[in-house]
Amino acid sequence: MSEDLDSTSPWDDEERPSSTTHSDTTKKTHKVKGKRSAIRSRNGRKTKATPATTETADDAQNVDPLGPLGAASGTTDAIESSKSIIAPIDEESAKISQEIESFTLNSERLNLFGKNSSSEENSSNPVDGVQQGLENASINDNGQSVGGTSQESSVDSKLSEQVPQSTFAITVGDPIKVSDLASAHTVYTVQTQTTSPNFSKAEATVTRRYRDFRWLFHALENNNPGVIIPPPPEKQAVGRFKDEFIEGRRLALEVMLNKIARHQVLQNDPDFKIFLESDSFSSDVKSSAAANASTSHDEESKSSGFMGSFGFSFSNKFVETDQFFTDKRKYIDSLESQFKYLSKSLDLVIGQRQELGDVTQEFANILATLSKVELSKGFSEVIENFAAVQERIRDIYYRQSLQDTMSISTTIDEYLRLIHSIRNVFSQRQKSYFTLHAAEQELSKRRHQLEKLTRNKTTTLLDKINSIKQDVETQEKVVVNARVAFDDISTRIVRELERFEREKTEDFRDSVELFLENAIEAQKEAIELWETFYQRSGFGSAAPAGTAPANVSV
């Protein structure tokens, strides 16, 4: 799914000229979308933006300590004097609490990053185990952080869980076909309303095309290893400008953006901010790509060392030792198979319903032709009204098949794409393991060299021994950083899989509910049409001889 950035544009063009016209189908799909949003909003399970509410103690501080009757008591002077005595005690307690919180936070950082000791103090013992590397894991010879990105991210993730989540309301609409000399494509209007302090304005409106959404997906995937990124819909070369396809893609892109916005980590990603509010999108994308490439190169050289970039070349086949991930891989494979079977069955139901609509139309045409035969005026009117009812029933079949596509079928397709993203995070974890394994092999090699030179210690080899000692110390830090990165991405994937299960349950429940709502409404509408035709045609009652039944308005 990845797309390379060319020299003239940050994406590859995939669009080709075609033509499209707006029809009643688009209006009906917008009606379906509005109903879906209304149902979800009414049930309170899934909306476009889920505002996060936090409780504070501000209101509690304004309440009188003695309750509602405290202010009415006659001991005002005693209360004031007691406050003057308690105030210093409260200030001292607040200072103690702040010191405890500061000590706890510092302890947590020290436990994760290692002790803040320089390599010069420990250079006399270079061939110790990984424990020595733990004490110097995040500090280099200049006292600066080495490979601290993954370590700091684990602490930041813990701290960010306590920060209230910003709210987002994102809509993707107004698809417009754009034709130019190079290619033809569809442009969507993305409107954003947010309370996030990371954005320069609370409301933003930009225009984006399909390849821009694909860029966002790959950018978030590279910036957030271990996070399951909601993917955009797949490319399609044929029928890209049909109204039904454009509406389905528009809805999928809107769902993608809102899921990203609800993710506490992804909503703060700089590339997500660029996508939602940048007016100079092309230049900002190129600047972001250059900055990310430079950062990735620096982090790779710090965390992996020289041999880290060749992790796959020097590693054996990956063998999973964690039973949790083994079971999850099997579960994901089974879930994908079930979704594919369900998708095929649903496509068959939708296809048969569309065929039923086509047959109903043919039946209506035959009835309309029969009504023109001058057998009797009353009979002709009944047949003509019967044909009109059949045409309305045909519309119900077509609309219901489209609603089924927009409910369960869309959700199934979305989760099939999410399963592909889950496999991507498994591959990222596997790559992190290979990096760790390559670093351990390099450390073992350098230790062996040091031991060999130490046994044959001579004056001429003293400088070389000291140089290899420094290499061993540096490589020990690389190994520890790689191990921390591997553990960090494993922990993040576990959290993401738990989140995936929760959202899967909610999304499919909403989809089934919408499916049932649409089916019930379609049946009610059909019953109303038949009852109206039955009553106004005079069926069930004895009409006077020679009287024509009333005209049926359908």
Give the three-class secondary structure for 51: coil
> Which residue's entry shows tokens 């001579």?
458
Give the mean pLDDT of the chain. Answer: 74
Mean pLDDT is lowest, of 201-205, 284-288, 303-307, 526-530, for 303-307
Mean pLDDT within 168-174 = 94
- Dihedrals phi, psi of 187, to nearest 5 degrees: -110, 135
Per-residue pLDDT tens digits for 332-363: 999 999 999 999 999 999 999 999 999 999 99
- Dihedrals phi, psi of 466, to nearest 5 degrees: -65, -40
State which CATH number among 3.40.50.880, 3.40.309.10, 2.60.120.10, 1.20.1270.60 fits the domain covering 336-537.
1.20.1270.60
Mean pLDDT within 516-524 = 94
pLDDT band (50, 70, 90) for residue 91: low
Residue 128: which of 450, 358, 452 has the closest Cα? 450
Please count the other Cβ atoms lying within 10 Å of the Cβ belonging to residue 186: 19
Q: How far is CA 235 from CA 232, 257, 356, 509, 545, in A?
A: 9, 17, 30, 28, 65
> Does residue 375 carry a pLDDT above 90?
no
For 283, residues 6+ apart whose C-beta sits below 8 A from its C-beta are none
- Dihedrals phi, psi of 60, to nearest 5 degrees: -65, -30
The upper half-sphere exposure of residue 157, i.e. CA atoms within 13 Å in the direction of its Cβ, equals 19
CA 308 – CA 298 distance, rounded (Å): 12
CA 58 – CA 62 distance, rounded (Å): 7
User: Residue 355 has what pLDDT?
Assistant: 94
Residue 476: which of 451, 512, 519, 444 has the closest Cα? 444
Fold agreement (168-290, 336-537): no
Highest mean pLDDT among 109-118, 189-198, 373-382: 189-198
Alpha carbon 30 to its chain's center: 23
> Does residue 384 carry a pLDDT above 80?
yes
> Does residue 267 carry a pLDDT above 90?
yes
Mean pLDDT within 384-407 = 91
Per-residue pLDDT tens digits for 1-32: 444 434 344 444 444 444 444 444 444 444 44
DSSP characters over 67-130: -TTSTTSS-HHHHHHHHHHHHHHHHHHHHHHHHHHHHHHHHHHHHHH-----SGGGTT-TT--H
CB of 504 within 8 A of CB of 378? Answer: no
Give the three-class secondary structure for 145: strand
Mean pLDDT is lowest, of 124-138, 387-401, 511-525, for 124-138
CB of 406 within 8 A of CB of 251? Answer: yes
User: Residue 379 has what pLDDT?
Assistant: 83
Per-residue pLDDT tens digits for 184-200: 889 999 999 999 999 99
User: Residue 316 has what pLDDT?
Assistant: 59
CA 56 – CA 279 distance, rounded (Å): 38
Mean pLDDT within 166-186 = 87
Mean pLDDT within 313-337 = 85
Mean pLDDT within 400-407 = 86
User: Residue 503 has what pLDDT?
Assistant: 95
> Does residue 67 carry a pLDDT above 70?
no
Mean pLDDT is lowest, of 118-127, 282-291, 345-354, for 118-127
User: Residue 545 has what pLDDT?
Assistant: 43
554 vs 495 pLDDT, higher one: 495
Helix (H) or strand (E) holding 451: helix 410-455
Q: What number does CATH give the domain 168-290? A: 3.30.1520.10
Please count the other Cβ atoms lying within 10 Å of the Cβ belonging to residue 441: 15
Q: Spell out the domain ranges in the chain.
A: 168-290, 336-537
pLDDT band (50, 70, 90) for residue 97: low
Four-point Cα dihedral 281, 287, 292, 295, nearest 10: -160
Burial class (CB in 10 A: 0-12, 13-18, 19+), 233: buried
Phi-psi region of 67 (alpha: psi -120 to 50; beta: other; left: phi over 0): left
pLDDT band (50, 70, 90) for residue 299: low
> Does residue 265 carry a pLDDT above 70?
yes
